[in-house]
Amino acid sequence: MKQEELHYAKTHEWVAVAEEGGAQIATVGISAFAVEALTDLVFIELPAVGKQVEAEQPFCEVESVKAVSDIYAPVDGEVVAVNTALPDALETLSSDPYGAGWIAKIKITNDAGLANLLDYAAYQKQCEEEN
Amino acid sequence: MSTNNQLAHTPLFDWHSAHGGRMVEFSGWSMPVQYTSIVEEHQATRTAVGLFDISHMGRVLVNGPDAAKYLDHLLTRSVVDMKPHQIRYSLVCNEAGGILDDVLCYRVTLENGEHSGYGLVVNAGNRQKILAWMENQQADFDVKLEDITTAYGMFAMQGPRAIEIFDPHTSCELTSMRYYTGQVAQVCGVECFVSRTGYTGEDGCEIVCPSEQLPAVWEQLITSASAVGGRAVGLGARDTLRLEAGMPLYGHELDESTNPIQAGLDFAVNLRDREFIGREAIVGFQRDHKQSVRVGIQMEGKRVAREGATVLLGDQQAGNVTSGTFSPTFNHPIAMAYVCTSAAAPGTPLAVDIRGQEHPAQVVPLPFYERGK
């Protein structure tokens, strides 16, 4: 997926929204900036399929040598798919964060959360400020 | 703790910044937590050599006619019988036997073999506290204290190739220098203090060097180290290395509410035929079988038990984790914890509550890692 076309949460998740079978599905991952900042990832605990998630609430945990970090749901909805290949190939998060490194797909039940997301330019600016 | 951006800089601050060091606040100092990756820096130290800036640690000289008597009163291990060149790991305790700091005490011996006093290296976060404590205890002794923390910097070279890499740059006879000895010596043409000590479980040395010359000395040694896959190592890997080596860290395994016996530091307490601050309390702790003790814990899954996590024996709380990380050497999570004696035997199956979920674990002997001799 093209970074320029994605939306971003202030907490460094990226989101791609697509129409699938009449529903809005958000594919969620974490940005290259986030992966770089976390470094030395050792473990990811994926959410269960069917889990109800709430925008801006933690729904997944990623463990690095240094610390455990939450990954936040960018929208309200239900987890309909998770990237089961990821736990055994965490390096995918750094080699292809916007493609094979996707984390979960959420069926959006309330798209109000989408309005809080940043576009590429605004997110780039945030990353520069954090650096 | 500095909160106003007035962080102290080591002599290597510019070097760290120029070489990708991710700088963080540590005990009032701006220090690199990592340059590239904790795992890469960890492995470089275990397989070749790592160079560590430890200039943030406090360095205090103790001189004067009563220097030995004075330190004997302050430290849990005797210094009066220290031989020339000798170094001792020791503790500074309060009257209640609580640990104020863990320190290295150096008998400073000049190049001509003459004894000139003692040096203490203290934890960065404890420097002001220990200096104040030392000044308060000074009245009855004819001693002179000198804080040389900023005048001198300090770095460590650790790893199986540390000595081989360091050797051509120094006047020391490194291979014949025993562990826990130190001496004044030339390093890259600069008069330094070189000791066979370290905090990683590896062979190596630590070098105290005048601050002004330190960057040039470091640069030469980094260049030699790079040729064999060595590199600069930040605080992140310093922590994973010392955890694997089972070494306690002040503020985590050690603090004023813990005592040397429960910390498993009996070897650093010398009770016979001497008096020192905290002695009576420590004798009492030796008889107290109810207190919790420091143990090593190995997790069964991939989840890391972090500081503060509750350790469970059955459905009872047995203690708390004091430090935990993912071990790059063993490829699974390890931790240290204080647990009640009934949960302390190696092999005891435990669980650790990590964010509300119980994860199986077991007690294992410390250290986790011991280098091949």
The encoded tokens of residue B213 equal 């010359």
**From B35, which residue of chain A is nearest by alpha-carbon distance?**
A39
- Confidence class for position B300, pLDDT limits 50, 70, 90: very high
- The pLDDT of residue B373: 67
Domain made up of B290-366: CATH architecture: Beta Barrel (2.40)
Q: For residue A48, give the CATH number of its domain.
A: 2.40.50.100
> What's the CA dihedral at B26, B31, B35, B41 to 10 degrees?
-70
CB contact under 8 A, B302 and A43: yes
- The pLDDT of residue B113: 77
**First and final CA of chain B: distance in angstroms?**
40
- Confidence class for position B109, pLDDT limits 50, 70, 90: confident
B323 reaches A (C-beta below 8 A): no
* Pick from A43, A45, A65: CB nearest B240: A65
Interface predicted TM-score of the whole assembly (ipTM), two decimals: 0.87
- Confidence class for position A49, pLDDT limits 50, 70, 90: very high
Q: How far is A20 from chain B (nearest CA, A)?
A: 35
Structural domain including A56 reads: 3-125
A68 reaches B (C-beta below 8 A): yes
A40 reaches B (C-beta below 8 A): yes
To the nearest whole percent, how much of chain B has pLDDT over 70? 98
A48 reaches B (C-beta below 8 A): no
Nearest to B265 by CA among B95, B87, B88: B88
- Read off the pLDDT of each residue in B268-273 and give the average, rounded to a whole number: 94
Supply the DSSP string of A13-71, one letter for each residue: EEEEEEEETTEEEEEEEE-HHHHHHH-SEEEEEPPPTT-EE-TTSEEEEEEESS-EEEE
Nearest to B302 by CA among B354, B348, B252, B350: B354
Could you confirm whether domain B8-57+151-244 is CATH 3.30.460.80? no
Alpha carbon B355 to chain centroid, angstroms = 30
* Pick from A39, A43, A65: CB nearest B325: A65
* Pick from B38, B302, B328: CB nearest A63: B302
- Read off the pLDDT of each residue in B121-130 and give the average, rounded to a whole number: 98
Mutate to test the interface with B, among A36, A38, A40 (most CBs of B within 10 A): A40
B37 reaches A (C-beta below 8 A): yes
Q: How far is B80 from chain A (nearest CA, A)?
A: 42
In a domain, A58, yes or no: yes
- Read off the pLDDT of each residue in B33-39 and give the average, rounded to a whole number: 96
C-alpha span between B203 and B205 (Å, rounded): 7
Q: Could you say which residues from 185 to 244 on chain B have a Cβ atom under 8 Å away from some Cβ of chain A?
A: 236, 240
The encoded tokens of residue A103 equal 């984390």
In a domain, A50, yes or no: yes
- The pLDDT of residue A21: 86
Other C-beta atoms closer than 10 Å to the C-beta of B235 total: 22
Domain made up of B58-147: CATH architecture: 2-Layer Sandwich (3.30)
- Confidence class for position B133, pLDDT limits 50, 70, 90: very high
C-alpha span between B257 and B275 (Å, rounded): 21
Q: Is the model's pLDDT at A39 over the cut of 90?
A: no
C-alpha span between B103 and B123 (Å, rounded): 7
Q: Is the model's pLDDT at B201 over the cut of 70?
A: yes
Q: How far is A82 from chain B (nearest CA, A)?
A: 19
B206 in a labelled binding site: yes
Q: Which tens digit of pLDDT belongs to each residue from B42-74?
A: 999 999 999 999 999 999 999 999 999 999 999
Q: Is the model's pLDDT at B2 over the cut of 70?
A: no
CB < 8 Å & 24+ apart, contacts of A123-126: A123/A8, A123/A31, A126/A8, A126/A10
In a domain, A15, yes or no: yes
**Cβ contacts (< 8 Å) between A39 and chain B: which residues?**
34, 37-38
Q: Could you say which residues from 112 to 151 on chain B have a Cβ atom under 8 Å away from some Cβ of chain A?
A: none
Q: How far is A40 from chain B (nearest CA, A)?
A: 6
- The pLDDT of residue B115: 81
Alpha carbon B371 to chain centroid, angstroms = 17
Global pTM?
0.94
Q: Could you say which residues from 1 to 30 on chain A have a Cβ atom under 8 Å away from some Cβ of chain B?
A: none
| Number of domains chain A is built from | 1
Domains of chain B, residue spans: 8-57+151-244, 58-147, 290-366
- Confidence class for position B176, pLDDT limits 50, 70, 90: very high
In a domain, A101, yes or no: yes
- The pLDDT of residue B1: 45
To the nearest whole percent, how much of chain A has pLDDT over 90? 88
* Pick from B38, B303, B355: CB nearest A65: B38
Q: Is the model's pLDDT at A51 over the cut of 50?
A: yes
Topology agreement, domain B8-57+151-244 and domain B58-147: no
- Read off the pLDDT of each residue in A44-56 and give the average, rounded to a whole number: 96
Q: Which tens digit of pLDDT belongs to each residue from A80-105?
A: 999 999 999 999 999 999 999 999 99
Q: Is the model's pLDDT at B3 over the cut of 70?
A: no
